[in-house]
Every structure is written in structure tokens, then in C-alpha cells.
A and B are shown apart, each in its own frame.
Chain A
């Protein structure tokens, strides 16, 4: 059973830094791309970043490009999100999620699949 547990959230001052972790279990972590998604209070989810299974390719939303860095350690089955220059608008619950696929070689469907329970980041002075 796929299990994702985020950690590292907390209260940080504007301009500060924080590193989030996502511990994965129940599947072969190194075979799957991973996402970070956040959700501000009473708002819809906002996609932040994707990293492919071996870490060689990353994509970022414009809102975090240049401030956030995604990485992974497949030997530890752990995903990371290093956040710099944090702003009040970065306040949210941060989720990690798996990138999965279904289908056959003729046609694969890709989708964000299993999510963790999230960790809360509050940026406030």
C-alpha cells in the first residue's frame, strides 16, 4: 500500500527558509516521478513542482521558480522540497504525491495519484 508522509513544516518568518521531506513506502520509489502540491486555507490546490524518477528532470510553477528546489534520495525513498525566500503567500498545506500511469504501450494515461496527508507551512512575522 502506497504511503507518503510529509514532514518539516512549521512557522517561519518572511524571507526565511524551510526544507520539507516526504517519506515514501509501500512501492518502489525509484520507479516513480513525484510532485509537490500546496493548498492555501480555503483555496484550491496549486501544483508546485515535479521531479522524474531519477531526479534528472524537474519542472516548477512560475510562483516558486528560483525560490524552491525539489530533489530526491532514492536510496532513502525520500522526496524533498527546499524552500527559500518564503513569503506570506506561501502559507499552505504542502502535499507530496505520486506520478502514476495506467494503460499499455499503445496508450498510457498519466496522473497525479496518491497524496500524503500534508504538512503545514506558515510564513508570518
Chain B
């Protein structure tokens, strides 16, 4: 079973700064099956990135995903106030889906 480890646990930044979030897999995975979500307090997760680097419909271009193999990243180029939230990565293993534990981006 693949384990996804996200780091850091918490990222303290200011609006306008750049955020770099990491998602590391316990073994090499296809980037086609790596997804990122944003979750604001009291809300359900929202799809940001699929296929490791493809923005979902309506997602601003300040969000970008990258990576391959075991190391994946989500970058927010310039933080807006609404971007302060928790971010999760997810791997689709075909018959088993695994979430990372999340990174909180706080002011």
C-alpha cells in the first residue's frame, strides 16, 4: 500500500508570498494518478490539480502542480486571502485510493 507523506505540516506565510507544498510517495507512482485538493474550514475538499500538473476547471493559474516518481509539489505563486486552507494530495491506485495527511497554509 502506498503511503503519501505531506510536508510541512503547517506553512505560515503572508498574502502575496509563494507557497511550496510537498507530497512524497512511499514508492514510485504514475503522475497520471496524483491529485491535489483544497479544503477551507467547514467545507468539503475542492479539486485543484489532477494528473499531477493539470489545473481543474476554474482553478486560478497561481496554482501549479509538478513532480514525478515519488516527489510531487503544489505551488501557489502569490497567496490570496482565500488560499489559506488545508491542502491534500491523493493517489489513485486503481482499486485503492490514498490521501496524504495534509498541509495547512496559515497566515
Q: How far is the CA of A110 from the CA of B100 in the complex (A)?
A: 18
Does B47 lie within 8 Å of A112, measured CB to CB? yes
Stretch of A15-23, A66-74, A81-89, A113-121 with 4 or more beta carbons under 8 angstroms from chain B: A113-121
Does B44 lie within 8 Å of A111, measured CB to CB? no
**Residues on the A chain within 8 Å of B32, using CB:** 107, 109
Enumerate B89-107 residues with CB–CB distance to A below 8 Å.
Answer: 90, 92, 95-102
Does B51 lie within 8 Å of A45, measured CB to CB? no
Does A44 lie within 8 Å of B44, measured CB to CB? no
Does B97 lie within 8 Å of A44, measured CB to CB? no
The reply to whether the CB of A80 lies closer than 8 angstroms to some CB of chain B is no
Does A44 lie within 8 Å of B99, measured CB to CB? yes
Q: Mark A51-93, 1 if CB is under 8 A from B, else 0.
A: 0000000010100000000000000000000000000000000
Q: Which of A46, A61, A115 has the largest count of B CB atoms less than 10 A from its CB? A: A115
Question: Which 10 pairs from chain A and chain B are nearest by CB?
Answer: A47-B97, A115-B44, A111-B50, A109-B51, A59-B95, A44-B102, A44-B101, A45-B99, A111-B35, A109-B50
**Residues on the B chain within 8 Å of A115, using CB:** 44-46
Does B54 lie within 8 Å of A109, measured CB to CB? yes
Does A112 lie within 8 Å of B44, measured CB to CB? no
Q: Mark A9-50, 1 if CB is under 8 A from B, else 0.
A: 000000000000000000000000001000000011111001
Q: How far is the CA of A106 from the CA of B90 in the complex (A)?
A: 23
**Residues on the A chain within 8 Å of B35, using CB:** 111-112
